Amino acid sequence: MPESNVMEVVTLVIKHRVKAGFEVPYSTWLRNIVRIAGQWEGHLGVDVIPGKHAGLDTYTCILRFCSTDAMQRWLDSPQRRELVNEAIPMLADGDQTEVNPANEFWFSPPNETRSPPPRWKQAALTLLVIFPHTLLVPLIWKPLLGVSPVLSNYVVATFVITLTIVLSVVYLFMPMATRVFASWLTSSTEPKETR
């Protein structure tokens, strides 16, 4: 299969440290640029992870694109350039961008000050997200898979069900779950030894 026909998800990580006193206007600006980026061709979604560093609010924005070309068109667009120029006076360190060819930022966005959650928490949250899918997705697809002999083929049916689970977990439910459980994931609740 030619490389141009393969979907290569590319992740753009943008880090901003907001100057003191600019938190409210930055928040308004961020909502605006997220909305505009979401309308961009090839944009697959965005996660915004707030934090603190050296007393200032930080935001790690993780944008996913269907290809490097789609991401580059967004980065080079006049709309983005204009919006970034609006934000520069509010930022302590400017607009920091980093490209990653993978989309593996469920648990550990690039952050020098925070380590990823313990593996047991990652496993527990992953199970919490995937288990309901394995029960519900086959039930949802069952009426449609019986309609044609091709769809009722075991391999085809398994592929359709697996594809549905993977796409909904990767692009919808896991990012949502990591946001909802962010405080639990980052809290230090390691089991303590008792003597």
**Tokens 């779950």 map to which residue?**
177
Please choose, from the candidates 169, 166, 47, 173, the residue with its C-alpha nearest in 3D space to the C-alpha of residue 110.
Answer: 47
Are both 96 and 7 inside the same structural domain? yes
CATH of the domain at 50: 3.30.70.100
Are both 83 and 123 inside the same structural domain? no
Question: How confident is the prediction for the chain on average, in pLDDT?
Answer: 82
In a domain? residue 182: yes
Confidence of residue 31 (pLDDT cuts 50, 70, 90): very high
The pLDDT value recorded for residue 135 is 93
Domain boundary among 100, 127, 155: 100
Are both 96 and 10 inside the same structural domain? yes
Q: Which two tokens stand for residue 185?
A: 């994931």
* Domain range for 17: 3-100
Domain boundary among 70, 100, 130: 100
Are both 86 and 15 inside the same structural domain? yes
CA dihedral 178→180→183→187, nearest 10 degrees, is -50
Interval 41-78: pLDDT, tens: 989 888 888 888 888 888 888 888 888 889 999 999 99
CA angle 34, 121, 107 (to 5 degrees): 30
Query: If DSSP states are collapsed to H, E and C, what string results for 49-79?
Result: EEEEECCEEEEEEEEEECCHHHHHHHHHCHH
Please choose, from the candidates 148, 132, 9, the residue with its C-alpha nearest in 3D space to the C-alpha of residue 68.
Answer: 9
The pLDDT value recorded for residue 103 is 46
Number of domains composing the chain: 2
Interval 91-141: pLDDT, tens: 998 888 887 655 455 555 544 455 667 888 888 888 999 999 999 999 999
